[in-house]
Amino acid sequence: MNQVTLVRLCVIAGSVLAVEALCRFGVINRLTLLPPSEMAAYLVHLLVSGEINQAIVQTFSNVAIAFVLSVVFGFVLGAVIHAMPRLRRACDPFLASYYSVPIFVFYPLFVSLFGLNRWPLIMIGFLFAITAMVIATLNGLDRVPPVLVKFARVHRMSRSAEILRVVLPAAGPYLFTGVKLALAYSFIGVLAGEFILSGGGLGYAIAYAYDAFDNRTMYALMLFVLIVVTAINSALFIWEQRLLRRRGKV
Amino acid sequence: MSVIPETSGSAYVGGHDSAPATQRQSLQRLLDSFLLIVVLVVIWQLVYWKSEVAITGPIETVKTAIELLGSETFWRHALASGRAFGLSLLMSSIGGVAVGLALGAHRFSGAVAAPILTALYTIPKVTLYPLVLLIFGLGISAKVAFGVMHGIIPVVIFTMDAVRNINPVLIKTARVLKLSPSETAYRILIPAVMPEIVTGLRVGFSLTLLGVIIGEMFASQQGLGFMIINGMNVHNVRSLTAVVLLLVFFAVVSGSVLLALERRLQR
């Protein structure tokens, strides 16, 4: 383990301990925040008792569907927009300001389009995530060095071989970024939708616990979401670093 | 090592060609944008025909929006949102640039902080809303806090990366020319990192707006976010759709202005 990682772990552990101490010594009111150790203990209790299993399955399956759809369609849409410069220029301002629109205000619309089932939530996650993938695809395709494409032409590679062996590997790191962001945004979209509007899933469970002044459940669930999202992100980060190292870029 | 590939996905940089447009080209661009808007409006109309209960059609919505723009209630809410947004934007810009400069200048802290920042950037901050409410209470401070939570991190990340990736030749040149530290900062460092910072500020702008609007949806009796959630709760589809349209309009116009500014700086 190198020094940077060590210091980083110390910083994280130190902040958690500081919060713990502030809570234990009563500087932070128990009504505001529970000590992290209690959150963790109660989370273990919730997980063992199986009370939140259904919510977990529901949220994660929605996130998974939204994520896969957004990566596939985002990539295709990005490639199409990239191939048409005029369309692209017209799309610029919309892509640039997309993330200031709170997508979940369209939840009622999706309910009326898709019915009262899981699809409205999936659509929110999907629409939140797809733009990140489109943007990453555009960035990636922009950065494919022209010399590589020329090289493929010189070797008379077929169009499909050119895409598979030259364009995709060259754009790879940026596409990976898109995949990571699409995952994060799928989570954000689905959880936000559940939190504000729906009647099930982890986001709803947090909102419900908040309304019922059930701080223990609320903080345990918040901790759970943070741990899961951070763990997935770290795993992807490590994988990405490994890929980059193999390409000799780090 | 840069964290740009991890985070800049939501930072749209736009196409490459920044050569000054001829008159004919800019006319064509205008036409293209117009066509795109027409297509979007047609889709909107189709969706409207499919589900008339949940959305109003384009023409009716524009009429309602114009009505809203003339009403005092709307401006009261818009002003409340504007104030919260202005404050949050100020805090996330200044705070973000300051923290980013510090982390960028001190390489070790930057390396320690980078993955933590990325993690903070990707966690679903909506779920932290109860915590913000318990700390700040209902009202403008919670809204501002939520806006800053959303907006500050991209500004930090972009600023930090910009400083870390400065061309070392520039700094050596400054040393060779014996510039004082303040001169170095003013004449070399700031111009070098400006384009990236503006990109960060643009992303920060979008996300701060999103944060403030979400904040108003839960914790406020005022602001456009409240108008939206209220429209959803009492099923006032007309006002809901019109407020969303105005919001999108504001976001797209300010997004385009910032994008144009960014391209000018990158030239």
Return the CATH number at B157. 1.10.3720.10
Residue A126: domain span: 39-246
pLDDT for B7 equals: 41
Same domain, A79 and A198: yes
Report how many helices (DSSP H) and strands (DSSP E) chain B contains, helices first: 12, 0
- The answer to whether residues A133 and A194 touch, using CB atoms and an 8 Å cutoff, is no
Gyration radius from chain B CA atoms: 22
List the end-to-end C-alpha distance of chain B, in Å, as a whole number.
Answer: 25
**Which of B30, B106, B123 to mutate to test binding with chain A, by most A CBs within 10 Å of its CB?**
B123
Domain count, chain B: 1
Interval B189-196 mean pLDDT: 82
Asked whether the predicted pLDDT for residue B160 surpasses 90, the reply is: no
| Token output for A172 | 């790879």
Give yes or no for A12 touching B (CB within 8 A).
Answer: yes
Same domain, A11 and A134: no
Interval B202-227 mean pLDDT: 85
Same domain, A97 and A119: yes
Nearest-by-Cβ selection for A181 from B9, B116, B258: B9
Binary contact (A99, B203; C-beta < 8 A): yes
Q: Say how far apart CA B71 and CA B130 lie, in whole Å.
A: 33
Q: Is ipTM beyond 0.95?
A: no
Same domain, A57 and A22: no
B48, closest residue in chain A (CA to CA): A109
Same domain, A169 and A153: yes
The secondary structure of residue B126, as a DSSP letter, is G
- Longest CA–CA span in chain A (Å) reads 73
Same domain, A7 and A88: no
Same domain, A28 and A43: no
- The answer to whether residues B217 and B26 touch, using CB atoms and an 8 Å cutoff, is no
Domain count, chain A: 2
Q: Kindly report, residue by residue over B35-58, the tens digit of the pLDDT.
A: 888 888 888 888 888 777 777 878
**A212: phi then psi, degrees, rounded to nearest 5:** -90, 10
In a domain? residue B123: yes
Same domain, A173 and A232: yes
Give yes or no for A63 touching B (CB within 8 A).
Answer: no
pLDDT for A248 equals: 63
How far CA A109 is from CA of A103, A228, B49, B225, B252, in Å, comes to 11, 30, 12, 17, 22
In a domain? residue B83: yes
Q: What is the mean pLDDT of each run of 10 residues along chain A (250 residues)?
A: 82 85 77 79 83 85 93 91 83 81 80 81 89 87 82 81 79 82 88 80 83 83 87 84 70
Give yes or no for A45 touching B (CB within 8 A).
Answer: no
Give the whole-number percent of chain B exceeding pLDDT 70: 91
pLDDT for B21 equals: 60
Q: Kindly report, residue by residue over B71-99, the tens digit of the pLDDT.
A: 888 888 888 888 999 999 999 999 998 88
Residue B156: domain span: 79-221+252-266
pLDDT for A249 equals: 53
Residue B18 — pLDDT band, cuts 50, 70, 90? very low
Residues of A in contact with B234 (CB under 8 A): none
Same domain, A125 and A22: no
Asked whether the predicted pLDDT for residue B34 surpasses 70, the reply is: yes
Angular region, B224: left φ>0, alpha ψ -120 to 50, beta rest:
alpha
Binary contact (A102, B225; C-beta < 8 A): yes
Give the whole-number percent of chain B exceeding pLDDT 90: 5
Asked whether the predicted pLDDT for residue B115 surpasses 70, the reply is: yes
Q: Say how far apart CA A207 and CA B50 lie, in whole Å.
A: 32
Give yes or no for B251 touching A (CB within 8 A).
Answer: yes
